[in-house]
Amino acid sequence: MATSLLSRVEAVAAPFIFGLPEPARRLIAGRPVRLDGQELALDAQLLLRLQQVARVSMSSDTPEKARQRILDSGPVVSGAPIEPVRTREIAIPAEHGPLPATLYEPAGLPPDSALLVFFHGGGWVIGSRASHDNTARYFAKHSGVRVLSVEYRLAPEHPFPAATEDAVAAFGYAHAKAADLGADPERIAVGGDSAGGNLAAVTAQVTTRRGGPVPAFQMLLYPGVDASRRRRSRELFGSGFFLTDADMTWFLDHYAPSGVDRTDTRLSPLLAEDFTGLPPAYVATAGFDPLRDEGEEYATKLRAAGVPVTLSRQPDLIHGYVNFLGIGRRFREATSEAAGALRVGLRA
C-alpha cells in the first residue's frame, strides 16, 4: 500500500508542483528551513514534503519491499531516460559467478576514451543499476565518458565484504578489458554515491596498497566512509532530511551485522592510516545530510596526505541528490558540477 501510494502521489503531484511559480512552490513547501547556518533549497524542501505526504521511509519494510519502492519512485524523480546514450550488457567474471553490469556510451565517443566504473548507492541493501540508470546516463553524456555501472551483491543476502569484493573485481576487469570496453586503461575512474561512494573509496585504497593498476580518479558523492562512530551531522540531520538515522542503522545492521568489525578499513576507509598515493578525488557532500561530516573529514585526510582533492559542499541539498534529476533545477545543477569535475579529472 505504501509503495503504490508513493508512486501515485509523486506521479501526479511532482511534475505539477515543481512546475509552479516560485511563490506557489514556497507556499506548498512552507517556511524556509534553516539549520547549522544553511538554508534548505526549495526543490529539496518540496521533495521532502512529497515524502512526508506519502508517509514512507527507506527502512520501514523488508529489504525486498524497500528495493521495490525505490524502483517504483525512480521514474518520477529521475526523469525520462537521457539520450542519446547507447547501452550494452556486460558480464564481469567473479568467483561467485558473473557480475552483471551495464556499459553506457554517449553518442559520438571515440575508442580509447575515459571510463567511469560506477557503484550505485542504497546502503549496500537497496538500489540497483535500474534505480541509477539516469544517473549513469547523465554522467556518460555530460562528462563525455563511458560508464560501467556495476550490479554488486546486496545485503543481507550477501553481507560485508561481498560488495567490496565485487567493486574491486569490477575495477580490475575494467582495466584488464579496457580495449573491449572502448576505454583508455590509463583513464579509468571509480565513483559512486553514498554506499557507492564508500565502495569507490575502498577500491581506490585496496588497489593502491596492493600495487598494480589503480584508478586515475575517484568521484565520491556524499560517501559513507566511517561505520564506527556518529558525528555531529548525524545528530543534526538524522530526522526529516530523506536519509535518516534509522535508515543508517537499518542499512548497517544488514550489511555489517553483529560480529563484523566496523573499524575494518574495507568498511570504514576513513580509518586508514595511510592516504598517500591515492588517486586525485572530487568529494561532494550535502549540507543537510547525516553523512556530511565524515565525507568532509575524508577529503581533509586526502589533502593532508598530498592527494589532489576538490571538496564541494552543496550546502542547501539533501542526501541522494544525483537521483533527483527529473525534478527541480537545483539537483541537476549540483550533479552537473560533479560531471564537470569528472570530465576534468579524466581529461575526457
Residues carrying an active site annotation:
194, 289, 319
The amino acid occupying position 87 is T
Alpha-carbon distance 75 to 134, whole Å? 9
Is-cis flag, bond preceding 161, omega within 30?
yes
Phi, psi (degrees; rounded to nearest 5) at 213? -60, 140
Cβ-based neighbours of 23, under 8 Å, separated by 6 or more: none
Question: Which residues, listed in sequence order, are joined to residue 313 by a DSSP beta bridge?
Answer: 285
Question: Which residues, listed in sequence order, are joined to residue 218 by a DSSP beta bridge?
Answer: 190, 281
Q: What is the DSSP letter of 321?
A: G
Alpha-carbon distance 263 to 229, whole Å? 9
User: 87: which 3 cell numbers?
Assistant: 547501452
Question: Which residues, listed in sequence order, are joined to residue 314 by a DSSP beta bridge?
Answer: 286
Question: Which residues, listed in sequence order, are joined to residue 92 by a DSSP beta bridge?
Answer: 99
Alpha-carbon distance 321 to 154, whole Å? 22
Burial category of 343 from C-beta neighbours within 10 Å (exposed 0-12, middle 13-18, buried 19 and up): middle
Nearest to 106 by CA among 116, 121, 119, 97: 116
User: 52: which 3 cell numbers?
Assistant: 512526508
Please tell me whether residue 85 adopts helix, strand or coil conformation: strand
